[in-house]
């Protein structure tokens, strides 16, 4: 049985900035997209964009989780911040 591995931390400032931006996008991207659509269009389109953005960001979150978190640790629940930390650790930093 494999042991539990701690969530990695970003090593340098560039990775910390990417970590902050990507975790912010996963957490609040739905609201940013909705606010932008409401600003340029009307509230009906904004409600539609809210539903669509919620689904799309959920799919992105799921893809990042299953591609970057080790298989033995996918049974645990991870926050957006942890998912982005694993993704950056494996692919970018």
Name the token pair of 37. 């659509």
**Interacting residues of 70 by C-beta distance below 8 A, sequence separation 6+:** 2, 5
Angle (CA) 54-22-26 rounded to 5° is 20
pLDDT tens series, the chain, 93 aa: 566 788 888 889 999 999 999 999 999 999 999 999 999 999 999 999 999 999 999 999 999 999 998 888 888 888 999 999 999 999 988
- Residue 34's Cβ-count burial label (10 Å; 0-12, 13-18, 19+) is buried
| pTM metric for this prediction | 0.85
Cα 83 vs. chain centroid, distance in angstroms? Answer: 6
């Amino acid at each position: 049985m494999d042991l539990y591995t701690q969530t990695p931390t970003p090593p340098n400032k560039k990775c910390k900035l990417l970590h902050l931006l990507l975790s912010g996008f996963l957490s609040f991207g739905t609201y940013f997209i909705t606010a932008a659509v409401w600003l340029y269009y009307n509230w009906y389109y904004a409600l539609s964009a809210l539903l669509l953005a919620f689904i799309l960001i959920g799919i992105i979150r799921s893809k990042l989780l299953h591609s970057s978190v080790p298989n033995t640790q996918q049974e645990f629940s991870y926050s957006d911040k942890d998912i982005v930390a694993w993704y950056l650790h494996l692919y970018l930093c």
